[in-house]
Amino acid sequence: MDTKEILKKVRKIEIKTRRLSDHIFSGEYHSSFKGRGMTFSEVRQYQYGDDIRSIDWNVTARYNEPFVKVFEEERELTMMLMVDLSASEFFGTVDHFKRDIIAEISATLAFSAIQNNDKVGLLIFSDEIELFIPPKKGKTHVLRIIRELIEFQPKSKKTDIAQALRYLSNVMKKKAIVFMLSDFMDEGYENALKIVSKKHDVTGIRVYDKHETEIPKLGMVPMQDAETGEIILVNTNSKTVRTKYRANYLQQVGFYEDTFRKSGAGTIHTRVDESYVKKLLGYFKRRN
């Protein structure tokens, strides 16, 4: 893809996702996440109507009259986009690859963040850390992130979610809102996710294609594993083969859901041919 084509694609994504973030997501994003970053400011005497949960019992006991804690909303948050660009993200059977939808969702979230004067960073991973862009503010910065999501060519085809989470733990010392975008065709990342979720506000966004969920009957078909490159001949007419494939697929999806839920992290599922707008809005509303 030449520079002119890349810029054209960046502009196209910017127009589409900027409109979404301006008119739909910025308010929802603000109310979903802004209220969670509160810093202690001072104590003052209790007034009628104050929330009793904010009473400072130590100060109240000292002065023998009720005092409440006053908090200030943190005006600036940091959003980190963790994007899986392993080979399985270059799959799609409808109009888009999973990678295309991941880029659009990432751009929408990034524009929502800068609308609220927040910083945005990007971590692209496979089974290694492919690219890390530290969080910054501004439209120019977001456009650079979109450009990387469109044109970046990862060195590896494989996936290692645990390693990406460990890297995030090391580089992000301040609490961040983390969106991890992947098809989550990986396992063994439960401990790493638990550690990250204790410090950061984590949401997994699973992007998938409907034809990944089961194998259609097509007779003997050569199939290649996108991540290992191995090609095997598969008898898709065999019910046993189709049943095993579906069971394995559902096991990985179940692992993703269970692991994120146990870690206190949020989950979103969106198919490449569905409206991710509805999925994101529904998720933000449920958090309020």
| % pLDDT > 70, the chain | 87
Q: Based on the domain organization, do 173 and 253 belong to the same domain?
A: yes
- Given a cut of 60, whether residue 35 has pLDDT beyond it is no
DSSP for 220-265, written as a single string: EEEEE-TTT--EEEEETT-HHHHHHHHHHHHHHHHHHHHHHHHTT-
Say what the pTM is.
0.80
Q: Based on the domain organization, do 49 and 113 belong to the same domain?
A: no
Q: Based on the domain organization, do 25 and 43 belong to the same domain?
A: no
For residues 105 and 63, is the Cβ–Cβ distance under 8 A?
Answer: no
Q: Based on the domain organization, do 68 and 80 belong to the same domain?
A: no
- More confidently predicted of 5 and 226: 5
pLDDT at 218: 78
Burial class (CB in 10 A: 0-12, 13-18, 19+), 254: exposed
Q: What is the dihedral of CA 288, 31, 18, 144, to 10 degrees?
A: -100
62-114 pLDDT per residue, tens: 899 998 887 655 557 899 999 999 977 766 566 678 899 999 999 999 988 88
Tokens standing for 12?
């196209």
Rounded to the nearest integer, the mean pLDDT of the chain is: 85
- More confidently predicted of 78 and 13: 78
pLDDT at 155: 92
Domain count, the chain: 2
Band (125; pLDDT cuts 50, 70, 90) = very high
Q: What is the mean pLDDT of residues 264-273?
A: 94
Q: Based on the domain organization, do 169 and 272 belong to the same domain?
A: yes
253-266 pLDDT per residue, tens: 999 999 999 999 99
For residues 183 and 84, is the Cβ–Cβ distance under 8 A?
Answer: yes
pLDDT at 239: 85
Range of the domain at 212: 3-32+75-287
Q: Based on the domain organization, do 61 and 120 belong to the same domain?
A: no
Q: Based on the domain organization, do 119 and 247 belong to the same domain?
A: yes
C-alpha distances (whole Å) from 245 to each of 144, 157, 188, 250 are 39, 21, 20, 9
Q: Based on the domain organization, do 43 and 102 belong to the same domain?
A: no
- More confidently predicted of 239 and 184: 184
Residue 10 belongs to domain with CATH number: 3.40.50.410
pLDDT at 12: 79
136-186 pLDDT per residue, tens: 999 899 999 999 998 999 999 899 999 999 999 999 988 899 999 999 999
Q: Based on the domain organization, do 192 and 246 belong to the same domain?
A: yes
pLDDT at 121: 97
Q: Based on the domain organization, do 18 and 42 belong to the same domain?
A: no
- More confidently predicted of 27 and 191: 191
| % pLDDT > 90, the chain | 45
Q: Based on the domain organization, do 113 and 200 belong to the same domain?
A: yes
